[in-house]
Every structure is written in structure tokens, then in C-alpha cells.
Chains A and B, each alone.
Chain A
């Protein structure tokens, strides 16, 4: 009897092809992706048929928090109507988000100090740097120095707590454009002033390229109304959003946009 030699089959699977595919996919995702911006609270925007996209550059976003949906709180509305603001510059130009934030912060702090002669705030260079690098800020001016001294994780935790009365930019129904501005109006005035200053080409110490970028920002903010976007939850009462509208109107920023999700409509055939 002859011996039957069973050939040992190798179980190695060639992973080269698989590797090729994954690298391709990875490249695709890396090139097409825009990173999610970190936001302190999640809101579900209502949907509309509008096909206009949110601009990537030169955008001021105002986030209005919604009532608490976890059901853990006795009064879910305590978390409602907190305001957060974020500034996005032009990633492709010399006028980056950092620079815009710096300009806005300097302007806003000087307006605030002008309004509150007795409770002035001063920010150190390190705190200003923190502001320039953080995406969304939603605290009263009086809390700014303390919040900006926190570490990033601490700050995220602090601002993520919607029940904290120290979180959210204060807002009220003030109609006077010059006096008794609330903190939200101080920010809006800073936006308005910076945009106006750009238009008058008084911005000193800037290169010609930066100036042209600034005028893009001005057009976006003041002319086209694409510069300010309000992001609010679909179940937020209109009166809460109306307050934000009213403040924008008072500060002469009459053109703005509302963020919505895309809704598809089946067309009528008649």
C-alpha cells in the first residue's frame, strides 16, 4: 500500500487587495470630510425645501438650546433658550477663524467695558488665545475670564451643562441700540462694528489680501445675509427664537439665515 501524502494547505489569505481597497476608501473619506464642529448641545433643526447650503466660510452661528429631552429634569424648559455663538473665518485665506475671533473678542470686550464701567473685565493674552482656538462660546462676559482659564475638557463640561445658570449668553428685550446692551447685543454690536470698520477700510496693519478677505466677510454679513445663521430646535417655542430675531433687528442686522435640514417634497403633477 502506497502512502497517501496529504498536502498541507496554507490558510494564509492574501490581504493585499483588501488593503488596497481600504486605503482607497480612507483617501475618499479624508478628502471629502468636513469635521463636525463641537457644539455644547444637540439641536434638531426643522426641515425646509430650501436648497441653499450653509456657507463654509465667514459665518457667525447662533445656537439656541432646546428644552431638555432626556426627561431627567423636573423642569425641562430650564435648559431652553441658552445662546451660544461661534465665529468661522475663511480657512483658505490669511484671515482665519482665529484672527476673526480675536478681532471680535477685542471689540466685544471694549464695548462691554464701555457699558459696564464698574465691572470691567480684563483678559490675559493666554485667555485670548484660548478664545481664538475654541469653537463655540456661550457664557456671560462676566464669566469669560474664569471660563477661558479652564482646560478644554473642563470648559466643555461646564458649557455642556444646560441647567447651569452661568451658561448661555444673557439676552433680554432691550430695544436701545446704544445703552443698556445685553451680552448678546454686545456680541452683535461687535460683529456690526468689525464689519463696518472693514468696509471703511480703517482696519490698520493688514495686508491687501487680508483686506479683500475682510470685505468678503463684510459682504457676507451685511449684504447677502448669509453671514449670520440661527440654529434652533424645531420644538423650541417661537417666542424664544423671536427674542433672538428682535435683538438682531435692534442691532441693525436685519438680514440673516435660519439653519434647516433638507426636506424632499413630492411634486404635484398638475
Chain B
């Protein structure tokens, strides 16, 4: 292949020239190419990051009557917390994931504590044994009507009845269909929550097709509820903030505390 043969052709004459063959050695070329490939492989990103879109309300003062009030039956509040082991987030030995706890209640906060099991604890488990588990199950049940149609749409898409674009459009319309009973979720990351905890919570909203959710800081009522939960269950949830830095930030953040839940 890498040689050029020069055959004299015709009859062999006496004292014919010797067959000349020129070999080109490609080994250095291959070496160089390999080096270049290695360089490109190390310097490139194959996997691009994903993004989660988020829209925060404006900072401007909104009059009380302009605020949309959610129906009591539709509201669900999730108070997030991350377990710490020393100054690092605690990791579950089995799954290798950080342990995030969710304390949730439905409707308006009941500070009279007529029932003991008012605040309930859940975790981000996701799907197990082909069924939604943990907080996903609760949110899924809350958003049953939307999810039912969403599953139908998904099946249609899987059976190639509708295209991906149509599916996306219909799913979006379905998620914000005001004729259906849809929950309003308030996500309240506690002072020890990590960024991952918040992302997990927003992710659950996307998975369960919940279009109405907001992110707020826990207020006094939430602390009262957590304290009560601690007393009933003998657990410690309210701990001093683990990170020194974290104690500086809430002072600024507390101002945006809103009570419209």
C-alpha cells in the first residue's frame, strides 16, 4: 500500500533494472495523529450542561389584594432541610446520595396542632419498583388530574401519534390547565439546605407537571411547626446553621420573607 512499485513491463531484458519499491513509513504519522486525538479528547466537552429555568416574582411591593390567593385545598408547603455530618452534607451509605428531608403540610398552617401528625416527613426517593415513592408520590397524587392526561399524551408520543414538538406544547398546556385541580406548592428551603436540595425540589415540580410553585424562605409559622414536630417525634431539626457563612446571608434574605402562602 505505501509503496510504489515500478515494474519494467514487457519482456525481461538482459540486465533489466531491478524492481524498485519505495516504502513510505507511516508510523510517525500515526504517532502524531494519536497525540492530536488525545489532545482533542482531553480538551473537549461531549456532554453539555442542562439548564433549569426559574422565574422569580418581582421585588416590588405587591398590594395585598393583588396577590393571588391559593385555595386552601390546593396549597402544599414543603420545608426543605439537609442532614449534615460535621460540616459536610451527610451521605446515605446505600445510595451514595446526600440526605435531604422534606417536612410538608397541606393547606394553611395549623398552629393550634389539633392533630399530632400535622407536619409530615418525606424524602426525595424518586421511582422505586416502578412506582413513584416519597415526596413524588404525594405531589403526584395532588396533581392527579394533570398527570393522568400527561400520561396519555406521553403514550401518544411514544406510539408516534404526535411529534415531540406537539407533545411539549400539549404537555405545557395541560400543566397550566385552569379547569383541572392543580396544587400550589411553596418550597421553603431551611437554613441548612444545600443547593442540591433546592434543585431536587424544583425537579420534582417538573417531573410532576406542577406549574404553580414558588420559592420562599421559612417564616415564623414554619419554625413553630418544626418545633412542634421536634417535640412530638423527638428529633432535632432546628440546629444552629452549620456553615458560618450561612448565618450572614439570611439577614439579607429574611427581608424578602413573604407571608402570602
A interface list, Cβ under 8 A from B? 12, 14-19, 22-23, 25-26, 29-30, 32-36, 45-54, 67, 75-77, 80-81, 172-173, 175, 225-226, 229, 231-243, 245-246, 248-250, 252, 254-263, 265-270
Contacts and interface: CB of A to CB of B under 8 A. Distances in A.
Contacts of B50: 48, 50-54, 259-262
B183 interface: no
Interface string B239-258: 00111111001111101100
B37 A26 contact: yes
Contacts of A254: 55-58
Contacts of B252: 172-173, 175, 243, 246
Nearest to A44: B196
A23 B33 contact: yes
A231 to B, nearest CB: 8
A185 to B, nearest CB: 12
Given A29-B40, A240-B243, 7 more contacts: A12-B23, A29-B37, A34-B45, A52-B52, A239-B243, A254-B56, A254-B58
Contact of A250 (B33, B59, B197, B251): B59
Interface residues of B, number: 71
Interface stretch (B10-18, B199-207, B219-227, B229-237): B199-207
A225 B54 CA distance: 8
Contact of B194 (A12, A76, A238, A266): A238
Contacts of B1: 14, 16-17
Contacts of A245: 56, 215
A260 B199 contact: yes
B2 interface: yes
Given A16-B26, A235-B89, A260-B51, A33 B249 contact: no
5 contacts: A54-B51, A245-B56, A254-B58, A258-B202, A269-B130
Given A16-B2, A52-B51, A238 B255 contact: no
B43 interface: yes
A49 to B, nearest CB: 6
A34 to B, nearest CB: 6
Given A236-B194, A237-B192, A48 B55 contact: no
A25 B38 CA distance: 10
Nearest to B57: A254
B25 interface: yes
